[in-house]
Homo-oligomer: A and B are copies of this chain.
Amino acid sequence: MTDANPIVSALDLAGYRLTEPRRAVADLIAEQTGHFTASELERVVRDRRLGISRATLFRALELLTELGVVERLDLPTGEHAYVPCARAHHHHVVCSRCGRTAEAEDCGVSDAVGEIARRTGFRIDSHRLELFGLCRHCQARTTSDA
């Protein structure tokens, strides 16, 4: 089987060894539709008896974060979560009901950042914008539910 999983290819391209555990983690991540926490993955690993240790899981996540194929974000609760994503700079919109995420491009954010830099006198090197709300699907459900 040629690897259909782009995460695996990313590892390969970056010159990392394609080990069994890494493939497994890559597959797990690839099947996530929204954000996920390390402990969620951990549970899946345990349930499916994939035999991947916690250390390896964290190492894989760290590696993939470095490669830019997943991104770490902070939920309003203070939890750390991960989202699979593309390399370019963008922002994440997280559904607080179902956990679905969407990526949003700049949309004028960098203009705002420039304006903030001007007003505060700071030289802004990086920024992080995280958005929380309801996805289309959950909005519809809320209207009919409540």
Q: Interface on A for B, CB 8 Å cutoff?
A: 72, 74, 76, 78, 80, 91, 93, 95-96, 102, 104-109, 111-113, 115-117, 119-136, 139
Contacts and interface: CB of A to CB of B under 8 A. Distances in A.
B107 A108 contact: no
Nearest to A134: B123
B125 A113 contact: no
A108 to B, nearest CB: 4
Contacts of A127: 129-132
A74 B104 CA distance: 20
A145 to B, nearest CB: 15
Given A126-B133, A129-B128, A107 B96 contact: no
Contacts of A111: 108, 112
Closest 10 CB pairs of A and B: A108-B112, A124-B133, A107-B115, A104-B116, A121-B136, A125-B133, A74-B74, A102-B120, A127-B131, A109-B112
